[in-house]
Amino acid sequence: MKNYVKAGSLAVLCLLCACAQTAQGKLRQAVYDTASAYHLLASPMPDIMAGHVPGVSLSAGQKALARKASQSVLDELSALEQSIQAGNTLVETAVAALQADFAAFSTCWSGLTAGDTPAACTLATTASTATTATQADAAVSVSTKGKE
């Protein structure tokens, strides 16, 4: 009996490992990795925005840029995570757009906390509108459950 349990556990483990080797598995992993990086980078935002971090002060305009850049990443993450939860097929362009917006947010947030207002802040806020529209179109075209 123990051998069957071990064999079954091993088979399940092999199947789980095999999932990450598919294109969809890799796209899902990219979404999860980006989500982790976003949450790590954005975790001090509330304290910095409230002025509780010594040596870092943001103007109202800088706070608005940071919020908008952060929200664009969060919106894309939410949409992709919902697609994953629903079992829908992910589109590579949507994941690439998420990663590009995260890179812009990362540059923007790092610059703002260092006392600068990088060009990435304005690029992140203008690109998010186009990306969200493109992603919505992609979500409509990929609303059926895909097989991996």
DSSP for 113-128? Answer: HHT---HHHHHHHHHH
- Summarised one tens digit per residue, pLDDT across range 95-141 is 999 999 999 999 999 999 998 888 888 766 555 544 444 444 444 44
Average pLDDT over residues 46-51: 93
pLDDT, averaged across the chain? 79
Residues in Cβ contact with 25 at an 8 Å cutoff, skipping those fewer than 6 apart? 19, 148
How much is the pTM? 0.70
Task: Tell me the H-state helices in 20-89.
Answer: 23-42, 45-49, 60-86
Which amino acid makes up residue 93?
T
pLDDT of 38 strictly over 60: yes
Q: pLDDT higher for 49 or 14?
A: 49
pLDDT of 79 strictly over 70: yes
92-97 long-range Cβ contacts below 8 angstroms, 24+ apart: 92/23, 92/27, 93/134, 93/138, 94/134, 94/135, 94/138, 94/139, 95/27, 95/30, 95/31, 95/34, 97/131, 97/134, 97/135
Euclidean distance between the first and the last CA atom of the chain, given in angstroms as a whole number = 32
